Amino acid sequence: MGNRLLSALLASAALVATAGFAEAKTVIHVMHQGDPGWVKAYGDVATRFEAANPDVDIEMIYAPHDAYNEKFSAAVMAKQLPDIMELDAPFLANYVWSGYLQAVKPLIDKDLLDDMTDSNIAQGTYPIDKDLYAIGLTDSSVVLYGNKKYLEAIGARIPKSVDDAWTREEFEGYLEKLSKLEGVKWPIDTFRGYGIKTEWITYAYGPLLESAGCDLIDRKTWKASGTLDGEACVKALTMMQDWVKKGWVVPTSSGTNQFYAEGQPAALAMGGHWFYAEASAAMKDNIVVMPLPKIGDKGVSPNGTWIWGISATSENPEIAGKFLSFLLKDKEYREYAKTQSAYPGLKSFAAGSPLYAEGGPLAVAFEQASKTAIARPPHPAYPTITSAFMQAVDKIFNGGDAQEALTAAAKKIDEDIEDNAGYPPFDEQQ
């Protein structure tokens, strides 16, 4: 009887101890987006981290790419911010200004911080205090993809470097010739099918307009009126509207890829670096990667992608930083990223990515990062800036008056900034 009682007491004590151990586990919530391949890659890293750190549970919270900001806003309203959040780089200034993020330098392994490219540092830095609030394995760019057979058929010059990019005259001349070439239904796919719920219009079209002397906002006075609706922007958007009117641009209704779709009906594509993986698999040696054209005196390309930050409300920032450091160093994660033609944001990842090395098929994309990349406006009003701009471009591409649409967009942006008293201390930067 005594032995039975002792056994029962020991078993009970073991249960209590086990329950206590379970309660002692630290849970780190990680909010992210991504297609199924990336989602699996993140989940696999979390499993490996948990195996190495049995006292930590990593809980992955998925939000669809197109609805990510809405889901994040809901978390803010519910006061349930995750410990780690993925965020689109141009929204960083808004997140930091709103108090959602904390500086990550003290929380991330120093060798990773030293490994960051200048462009990666730029996309994670808050312009007011110049501190780092987010980090990523990757950065991004947009290039001009070409169908080699079509380009050879019209005698097009193939640029080999950023300095050699097509001029506006060459670009429009080639679009004209391609429009008359047999087999070509549309000279260029600018991926209008991505719509205005993604960042695509601002991200990809903005640099062409900036090359033409336009900008979304004056980056010194932080006023949009007089800049976004100024002569340079009106002319640039009227130019792009003209491409649409001439039938040179794949329409929204034709989806998100007519470049390497069956029959390859689009001769050129203004696509992100990530587009290369699938396009090259389908087109083999018939794909050409070129820098974005120079619409004005200088070439401009975008940068900034989805990067990782640690919330200001996290109760376990050190463990969150430990997981992020683990993620960015994880070999299998990096190998998966390579298969997706991921654009390097860490020097060590660039060194191990033959696509981006000198002579590699995406070398020109990596060259753009150091020569022509310009970030989207790093301002807390960015959500309004991009929303207003994308709606204006959509109206213009659908036949609306460029001046009218851009004036309305500039007014909307300036009103948002005024409603927030200039987003201090940004109002003191002038």
DSSP state letters, 183-202 = T-SEEEE--GGG-SSSSHII
Q: Where are the domains of the chain?
A: 26-140+304-353, 143-303+378-420
Residues with Cβ < 8 Å from 294, sequence gap 6 or more? 165, 166, 167, 168, 211
Name the E strands within 264-347: 266-272, 287-290, 306-311, 343-344
User: Is 26-140+304-353 assigned to CATH 3.40.190.10?
Assistant: yes
Asked if domains 26-140+304-353 and 143-303+378-420 share a fold, the reply is yes
Closest CA to 409 of 427, 395, 429: 395
Burial of 430 from C-beta contacts in 10 A (0-12 / 13-18 / 19+): exposed
Please state the length of the chain.
430
Please state, in angstroms and rounded to a whole number, the distance separating the CA atoms of residues 43 and 58: 9
Phi, psi torsion values for 267, nearest 5 degrees = -85, -30
Separation of alpha carbons 300 and 292, rounded Å: 7
Are 39 and 30 within 8 A, CB to CB? no
What kind and span of H or E run contains 280? helix 275-283
Distances (CA, A) of 207 to 144, 158, 212, 302, 374: 12, 20, 9, 6, 8
pLDDT one digit per residue (tens) for the chain, 430 residues = 444 444 444 444 444 444 444 458 999 999 999 999 999 999 999 999 999 999 999 999 999 998 998 999 999 999 999 999 999 999 999 999 999 999 999 999 999 999 999 999 999 999 999 999 999 999 999 999 999 999 999 999 999 999 999 999 999 999 999 999 999 999 999 999 998 778 999 999 999 999 999 999 999 999 999 999 999 999 999 999 999 999 999 999 999 999 999 999 999 999 999 999 999 999 999 999 999 999 999 999 999 999 999 999 999 999 999 999 999 999 999 999 999 999 999 999 999 999 998 899 999 999 999 899 999 999 999 999 999 999 999 999 999 999 999 999 999 999 999 999 999 999 987 5
DSSP, collapsed to helix, strand or coil, labels residue 352 as coil
- Per the CB < 8 A criterion, the answer to whether 150 and 267 are in contact is yes
Q: What is the pLDDT of residue 13?
A: 45
Q: Name the pTM for this structure.
A: 0.91
Question: Alpha carbon of 364 to those of 59, 237, 264: distances in Å?
Answer: 38, 26, 23
Q: Is the dihedral of CA 262, 174, 368, 254 positive or negative?
A: negative
Tell me how far apart the alpha carbons of residues 1 and 205 are, in angstroms, rounded to a whole number.
Answer: 81
> Torsion angle, CA of 107/109/114/120, rounded to 10 degrees?
-60
Which structure tokens are listed for 35? 């297609």
Q: Give phi and psi for 272, each to the nearest 5.
A: -70, 165
pLDDT of res. 430: 59
- 143-303+378-420 CATH fold: D-Maltodextrin-Binding Protein; domain 2 (3.40.190)
